[in-house]
Each structure stands twice: as C-alpha cells, then as structure tokens.
Amino acid sequence: MSDKKVIGILGGMGPLATADLFQKITLHTAASCDQDHPRVCIDSNTNISDRTAALLHGGADPVPEMVKSAQRLESIGADLLIMPCNTAHYFLPRLQAMTEIPFLSILTAAAEACKAQFPGMTVGILATKGTLSAQLYQNALGEADVPYLTPETKEQDALMRVIYDGVKAGKGPDAYRADLLTVVEHMMTRGAGVFLLGCTELPLAAEAVGLTVPVVDPTAELAKAAIRFCGFRVRAK
C-alpha cells in the first residue's frame, strides 16, 4: 500500500463534523481488512476561530490557525487536505497559497453529486449565513448548471439555531427538530426537490431527526472524493 496517498483532515470546525468525516471515509471505503483502508491524519484544531463570525461580523481571522494545521498535517505525511467545514472554503484560496499539497473542495464534490444524482431537480441550499452570504454554493451549483434556491431570512435564522444552538451545543434532536422540518417544508413549497446539507453539522442533524426528503450530504461526497484521489475504491451501495 506504499503507493497509496495519505488523507489529511483539517478539522475542529467543529469536532463532531470532523469525526463524521472520518467515519464516512471508513464506511465508504471498499475494504475487507484494515490494510484496505487509507491512512488518515487528523488535526482537530479547535483554536480555529468561527468562520461565519469572521465573514459577517469582523471576527478573528481563522486562516493563521488553519495554516498551522495544514502545515502540521503535511509534516506528518498527508498528500492531500480536506476540511469538514463548508464556510471555511471561503478562505481556501488564501490557505492553498500557503501550503504545498492540494485541497479537495467540499463545494465541488457536492455540486457534482447534485448534478449526477438529481439531474434537473432544484436544489434547496441549507447552510450557515456565512456560507450563503459568501455565495459559496450558489457559485458552485451555478458552475455545474444546477438550479437552486436559498433560504429566506427567517429560514436562515432557523438554520443557525439548528447548527449553533443545537448540534454544536451538543443538544439532542428535540431541540432543533421543529426548526429544521419547518425550513424544509417551506422550501419544498417554493420548489426545492432535493436538499444540499451545506453545513457539516446538518448531516448529523438530518440523521438525528430522521429527515426523509432527498438530500445530498457534502461530507459523504468529500469522503468519497478523497478515497478515490488516494487510490482506494469506494464501496458500492
């Protein structure tokens, strides 16, 4: 397996999302023994400041700590880097310029999955206010010629409660079920046929509440892209 590449997870944004990405790499790898899995290096750096706060409210710049993590992962053998945080991808151009090894983009992986798995369907983007304000998924889906719609202001507020007051705060699904289901129902009435879970806490929330509508999980799509990049096989469904 020495010819296989090593995955580096630039994590801590947040810790549960980091654990979810590692689990999905493991579950999606076609493996019959330990040695069939890719080597994965993880730096769950919780010193990285909040990305949405930096984007919208002049909060601390997260890039210096992100660079430290990237360089640390590179120093221990990572051949590529992935980040389980959608909003963090706003800072990717700066980050990539300061590192020698490539990043795989969660945005690209998710947009390509929307196009391939749900052709012609309108994608409802569920994400933080930072991701939405930065137009990250609007741009990625637009480049892939995928129709989309975004949450209205009250729906964005509800999603922020799900993400920050629910999952990140360690609350169970009863704390955010009503908010998440209401947003989904309202966006479906406006034409959304599939939902892009565009914050890495949202796949966790969707699973916890038992969301039954069609979804694209960017964390899972990034995991599969990393598996392929490193020369391993993705497990068949």
Catalytic, out of 33, 41, 114, 199: 199
Active site residue 41: no
Query: What is the strand order of the sheet 7-11 is part of?
Result: 40-44, 7-11, 80-82
| Residue 114 annotated as catalytic | no
Q: Which of 41, 85, 114, 230 is catalytic?
A: 85
Active site residues: 85, 199
